[in-house]
Amino acid sequence: MVHPSRSILPKWYAEDKFLETEAISATSDTTHSFVFGRMFKTPSNRTYRDGNHLRIGFCHLEFPYDCNGCLAEPPSNIAQTVTAIYNRASPSSMGQHRRQDDDGAKEKKEEEEGSCVLARCVVDYTVQTDAGLVDDIVRQFADLGYRCERGLEDTVMRLVVGGGSAAGSGSRSERLLRRKSQDPRPAATVRRLAGHSALPQLVDCNARAFGYDATGNTEWLHAKLASQLDQPDAFSVYAAVDGTTSDAKVMSFAIIYRAAEKAPHLAFVQAVATAPEHRRRGLASAVIQYAVDQLSAGTCVYLEACDPHAIALYQGVGFEEVGKVRSTECILLR
């Protein structure tokens, strides 16, 4: 049910969530958009969490300036529907949707490869003030055996690129690296990664930074990062490396997403990570600064963070807090 009387979405929320979901869509097999959120399906990468989930935001997030500014409720049986969809039920059971694969090739691939292993729903209630409605939705998932983690909160931060950034590309990032010149660890240079030559090193850095290596499964991460490297117009991958050769070790990296056709003035920091043994030497700050320096003046850059140390790091580069995103994550473990 749509509520036309509700206030228009905050600009920071509409832009941040548009960018985040567009970035996920770019590495998913199919995306379905609804008035209450977006669904991502990636049977080709079945344990890729973001690529296999429904995001309920109680609003339409496909494009912020095409948004009707209204809140909308998901169907009353949303938990059962989501579970059925990720068990190979047709997405048409959720009503009208927009497909991004017009030629049907991806849908055919999905049918051939079977259902997704992971069933997941993120209930983002940042703009939904009806706590009873949110609780009812989460309870539906809990009753079906989903593990529900409540009270998640991320800080949304924003930076507007100043004039002359591209002209002085790398200058401040180089100063940030020189501050740690007495560090006995290998010297670092920051550059953009292109192609798959550094993919193994990038996967290794990412996996160890976030602890994915402990799970014993990083195939989904390899596929996701390969997809991002294969889309250089959408994703820019910058890294601090210990040399200039193709096999140089990736010590820290940042991935920047841009929806150039829909919103050329916006950018999103999709991921930032530093290998454990290379932390506390300014590498992440240097990489982020270098990435920002490549953007045109006036570009509005968003990111989300929950760790106080990360928030302080981003503030040091010039990001400012603009809001909080609150959600509950529901996962059906198989």
pLDDT of residue 85: 86
Helices H / strands E in the chain, number of each: 9, 13
pTM of the model: 0.85
Percent of the chain surpassing pLDDT 90: 65
Q: Is the pLDDT of residue 74 over 50?
A: yes
Return mean pLDDT, the chain.
Answer: 84
User: Positive or negative, the Cα torsion across 221, 226, 227, 229?
Assistant: positive
Q: Is the pLDDT of residue 31 over 90?
A: yes
pLDDT tens-digit readout, 293-302: 999 999 999 9
Percent of the chain surpassing pLDDT 70: 78
103, 67 Cβ separation under 8 angstroms: no
pLDDT of residue 243: 73
pLDDT tens-digit readout, 194-242: 999 999 999 999 999 999 998 888 999 999 999 999 999 999 999 999 8
- Of 30-44, 63-77, 309-323, the poorest mean pLDDT is in 63-77
pLDDT of residue 205: 96
pLDDT of residue 187: 76
Q: Is the pLDDT of residue 118 over 70?
A: yes
User: Positive or negative, the Cα torsion across 42, 47, 49, 54?
Assistant: positive
Q: Is the pLDDT of residue 1 over 50?
A: no
Beta strand pairing call for 119-124 and 53-56: parallel
Question: Between vectors from CA 320 to CA 316 and to CA 323, what angle results, nearest 5°?
Answer: 140
pLDDT tens-digit readout, 140-180: 999 999 999 999 999 999 999 996 544 344 556 565 565 55
User: CA–CA separation, 257 vs 261, rounded Å?
Assistant: 12
- Residue 150 CB partners (closer than 8 Å, separation 6+): 138, 328
> At 42, which amino acid appears?
T
User: CA–CA separation, 313 vs 16, rounded Å?
Assistant: 19
pLDDT tens-digit readout, 239-281: 999 876 667 899 999 999 999 999 999 999 999 999 999 999 8
DSSP annotation of 161 reads: P
Binned at pLDDT 50, 70 and 90, residue 115 comes out as very low
User: CA–CA separation, 115 vs 324, rounded Å?
Assistant: 34
149-183 b/e with 16+ CB inside 10 Å = b?
Answer: eeeeebbbbbbebeeebeeebbebbeebbeeeeee
Binned at pLDDT 50, 70 and 90, residue 43 comes out as confident
pLDDT of residue 47: 87
Read off the tokens for 219. Answer: 């195939």
User: Positive or negative, the Cα torsion across 172, 178, 183, 184?
Assistant: positive
Q: Is the pLDDT of residue 192 over 60?
A: yes
* E strand map for 207-313: 235-241, 250-257, 266-274, 300-305
pLDDT tens-digit readout, 4-24: 444 578 889 999 999 999 999
Which of 155, 147, 67 shows the shortest CA–CA distance to 332?
Answer: 147
